[in-house]
Structure 1
Amino acid sequence: MILKFQLVPRTLNFRFDAGTSRGVLKTRNIWWIKAVNSKDSRIGWGEAAPLVRLSVDDRPDFEAKVQDFLNEFSTYDFPEEKESLLDFIKDIVPSDFPSLRFGLEMAIMDLLQEGEKRFFPNNFYDGQKPIPINGLIWMGDREFMREQIDAKISQGFTCIKMKIGAIDFEQELELLRYIRERFSEDELTLRVDANGAFSTMEALSKLERLAELGIHSIEQPIAAGQWAEMSKLCAKTPLPIALDEELIGIRDKGLLLDHIKPQHIILKPTLIGGFLESEEWIEEAEKRVIGWWMTSALESNIGLNAIAQLASKFNPTVPQGLGTGQLYHNNLNSPLVISAGHIRYQKDLSWEEPR
């Protein structure tokens, strides 16, 4: 199968200043990939969206390099069977371009499914089965975060994830206490994401204080790459730890999981290399009885749709991190709808054409 490719850049504009422990985001650059079958003109769309200051392929020459790859790939004969296709893409796309690998997987698998924005059988698309998601609370001053908390609760979310590590820790505890005083652990699940903001010296004592508030889990309490320290923390922690950034760029998945022994892992397909890599992480985690869930990495609705379908393939029961589609002024219109703490695919709504 000979394909032609087109790269379509888009700058997405946040509705507010999105605060993280790595800085404030106002815009988000993504690249849509259009794949066209040279024989019958079938079309598929994917998305390559390296995350600034985090993805291994966040580099100033990303667009130029991807265009070079796509020009080269236009001479290749791609297999049409799913397993062979994913292996083929893994072979031709270097591991230091994980978002390109995911975007290429999306575009070609969409094309093979007649360009309907469906990638494989799954209940999210086929049966319009909603997926439970967490409501995300972005970093900011105390009042801004409190407004978000009240809004998410009023919108029907029963799982809230709060980003921590940017403002004073005592204020963050106060906000979490504000939630917990109103809702018990049975009524509302609380997750926190430190994005590696804690030092190794203070991490355990902070986890102990968070545990007093009935926190479900904490994502990446210390910076990635400190396997020995993270292993000690996972062994002693009073609340479950979920690895996030720790998974980026890892080839030997079993080695990392056996060394650190986390309670959970967080899968961001854009950062770890797409469908195939995510499925391999799930297989290795489940062998070791390690929990997992998926989250988006601030993609447009094209990428978000792909991640939701991948999550749905495994029939998730715990809330996933898939509520980012409403963050932008200029996202693509799509059938993705969020209501009552769930994301659903509403087939009577249409996709806006990327351009």
Structure 2
Amino acid sequence: MPLQIVFKPHLLQFKTEAGTSRGVLTQKTSWILKITDSEQPGVVGYGECGPLPGLSIDDIPDFKEQLTSVCELFNSLDLEVYPFNLAIILEQLVPEHLPSVRFGIEMALLDFMSGGRRVLYKNPFSCAEKGILMNGLIWMGSYENMLEQVEHKLAQGFSTLKMKVGAIDFEKELRILESIRERFPAKDITLRVDANGAFHADEADEKLKSLAVYDLHSIEQPVKAGQHELMSQLCATSPVPVALDEELIGIFDYRKKFALLKKIQPPFIILKPTLLGGFQHTMEWIEIANRLKISWWITSALESNIGLNAIAQFTANYNNPLPQGLGTGQLYTNNFTSPMAIVDGELIYGQAGEWGINY
């Protein structure tokens, strides 16, 4: 029998409000995919499609209908999957405007091919031999709330903190950074900030100068995506190294990826497989970045533990020394149980128990 795919929604509930410059999140829907083959009973490949509200290009009103259409096509094609035809299946099956669907199906097929054990890539992380260094994420909130988050992340052993900026009063955000730097110099605690495109063109230079006082590692997406001349100028002149994030969303052609990075020449890029169209596209970004001497790290995009596990295992293939952004597993009250845990600022596999996916 050919492969068959089904899906259902899973409404993830945040433990606390997650604030960004685009608004506050309290819940998020992920669509959980399941791939089976009646000739291989007991083997189930799981994937996750999780468009980010207000950011993913497939955050669209008829997402369920379009996902249904792709799954119906999948089920009609008498498919068998192997490493050599995986990319062909994805290319022909999923339209470019549904990157999270492509990622979810890719993840589920990789899981199925590995025997349905949630081990998509065999490496020191998935073999429980080595953790992945992470940054601790500080969400936007009140001044007091953000200071409280900082203390919590430091207590968890994180040596790199990433703080969302651009929503509360800028002077208060600077005070939070100042309070960290008064206690911890850059050699002890690395600080990243993420503006999510919140700075206006006429204020970006001054705000970047104000931030530079605190010896920051980088700032993600200081201005809105699509302003390539402005972003190129900021990357060349900013006293805080710039990392592109939203700038990469919606670009799937290899030549366009190369042209973008060559034009802007950012010090860093940040890769979210859910938003970029999966691992095949993420690998292209990495290859281009390496050619252009651009550093990179990988970040989850509010996936459940199903998606986070796949992204973490993919990330571990590269042995990238920079702290990664893989902390979404702790955000939800109703996440799927998994073998992943955070220990001393690292994501560890094989420590927290068995998988619990009731689907």
**In 1, distance between residues paired with 2:336 and 2:53?**
21
Counterpart for residue 112 of structure 1: 113
Counterpart for residue 10 of structure 1: 10
Question: CA 1:25/1:145 → structure 2, altered by over 3 Å: closer, same or farther?
Answer: same
* Root mean square deviation, CA, Å: 1.2
Contact map agreement 2:10 2:31 (CA 8 A) in 1:
yes
> Residue type matched to 2:263 in 1?
H
Percent of pairs with identical residues: 50
Counterpart for residue 52 of structure 1: 53
Counterpart for residue 205 of structure 1: 206
Q: Aligned to 1:258, what secondary structure does the other structure show?
A: helix
Counterpart for residue 277 of structure 2: 273
Q: Aligned to 2:121, what secondary structure does the other structure show?
A: coil
Counterpart for residue 35 of structure 1: 35
Contact map agreement 2:160 2:190 (CA 8 A) in 1:
yes
Counterpart for residue 180 of structure 1: 181
| 1:190 matches 2:194 | no
Q: Aligned to 1:126, what secondary structure does the other structure show?
A: coil
**In 2, distance between residues paired with 1:149 and 1:45?**
34
Q: Aligned to 1:180, what secondary structure does the other structure show?
A: helix
Question: CA 1:54/1:151 → structure 2, altered by over 3 Å: closer, same or farther?
Answer: same
| 1:323 matches 2:324 | no
Q: Aligned to 1:125, what secondary structure does the other structure show?
A: coil
The C-alpha deviation readout for 1:43-84, integer Å capped at 9, x for no partner, is 100000000010000011111210121011112244533242
The C-alpha deviation readout for 1:129-152, integer Å capped at 9, x for no partner, is 100000000000000000000111
Contact map agreement 2:128 2:348 (CA 8 A) in 1:
no
Alignment map for 1:1-355 (pairs within 5 Å): 2-41=2-41, 42-251=43-252, 252-346=256-350, 349-355=353-359
Q: Aligned to 1:11, what secondary structure does the other structure show?
A: strand
Uncovered stretches (5+) of structure 2, i.e. residues with no partner = none
Uncovered stretches (5+) of structure 1, i.e. residues with no partner = none
| C-alpha displacement of 1:127 | 4.2
Question: CA 1:214/1:88 → structure 2, altered by over 3 Å: closer, same or farther?
Answer: same
Question: CA 1:293/1:349 → structure 2, altered by over 3 Å: closer, same or farther?
Answer: same
| C-alpha displacement of 1:239 | 1.5
Point out the more displaced range, 33-42 or 273-282: 33-42
- TM-score, structure 2 as length reference: 0.96
Contact map agreement 2:136 2:158 (CA 8 A) in 1:
yes
**In 2, distance between residues paired with 1:135 and 1:256?**
29
> Residue type matched to 2:166 in 1?
G
Q: Aligned to 2:225, what secondary structure does the other structure show?
A: coil
Contact map agreement 1:79 1:88 (CA 8 A) in 2:
no
> Residue type matched to 1:346 in 2?
G
Contact map agreement 2:3 2:80 (CA 8 A) in 1:
no
| C-alpha displacement of 1:348 | 6.8
> Residue type matched to 1:333 in 2?
T
- TM-score, structure 1 as length reference: 0.98
The C-alpha deviation readout for 1:15-51, integer Å capped at 9, x for no partner, is 0111110000000100000001242232100000000
The C-alpha deviation readout for 1:155-181, integer Å capped at 9, x for no partner, is 111000000000011100000000011
| C-alpha displacement of 1:90 | 2.3
**In 2, distance between residues paired with 1:147 and 1:295?**
23
**In 1, distance between residues paired with 2:239 and 2:358?**
46
Point out the more displaced range, 84-93 or 106-115: 84-93
> Residue type matched to 1:104 in 2?
I
**In 2, distance between residues paired with 1:57 and 1:303?**
17
**In 1, distance between residues paired with 2:100 and 2:91?**
12
> Residue type matched to 1:239 in 2?
V
> Residue type matched to 1:88 in 2?
I
> Residue type matched to 2:132 in 1?
I
| C-alpha displacement of 1:128 | 3.2
| C-alpha displacement of 1:284 | 0.3
| C-alpha displacement of 1:205 | 1.2
**In 2, distance between residues paired with 1:92 and 1:5?**
13
Point out the more displaced range, 29-38 or 119-128: 119-128
